[in-house]
């Protein structure tokens, strides 16, 4: 699993990042690298079954809180 993820992301880097580097589109390069790093991290975490906190619970609490305040 983890091997597949690494292969996948290196392929992505090969086809996405390297062209930006060659064309000297630095902004694109860094943004893409940043997003890529994020998603890579999450993918690795997911593959190790790490529980990533979901935002839906806090949103729910917040919405409920606001509603209760209003009503």
Residues near another protein, by CB under 8 A:
4, 7-8, 11-12, 15-16, 20, 25, 27-28, 31-32, 35-36, 38-39, 42-43, 46, 52-56, 59-60, 63-64, 66-67
Q: 């593959």: which residue's tokens?
A: 47
Choose between 48 and 52: whose C-beta lies nearer to another protein. 52
Instruction: Provide, rounded to whole angstroms, the least separation between the CB of residue 5 and another protein.
Output: 9
- 25 phi/psi in degrees, rounded to 5: -90, 85
Instruction: Provide, rounded to whole angstroms, the least separation between the CB of residue 21 and another protein.
Output: 12
- 67 phi/psi in degrees, rounded to 5: -65, -45
Chain mean position to CA 8: 14
Instruction: Provide, rounded to whole angstroms, the least separation between the CB of residue 31 and another protein.
Output: 5
Token reading at 16: 């996405």
Q: 């009503």: which residue's tokens?
A: 71
């Amino acid at each position: 699993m983890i091997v597949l993820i690494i292969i996948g992301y290196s392929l992505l880097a090969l086809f996405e990042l390297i062209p930006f580097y060659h064309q000297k589109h630095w902004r694109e390069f860094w943004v893409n690298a940043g997003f890529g790093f994020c998603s890579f991290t999450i993918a690795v975490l997911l593959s190790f079954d790490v529980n990533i906190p979901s935002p839906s619970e806090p949103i729910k609490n917040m919405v409920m809180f606001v509603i209760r305040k209003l009503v």
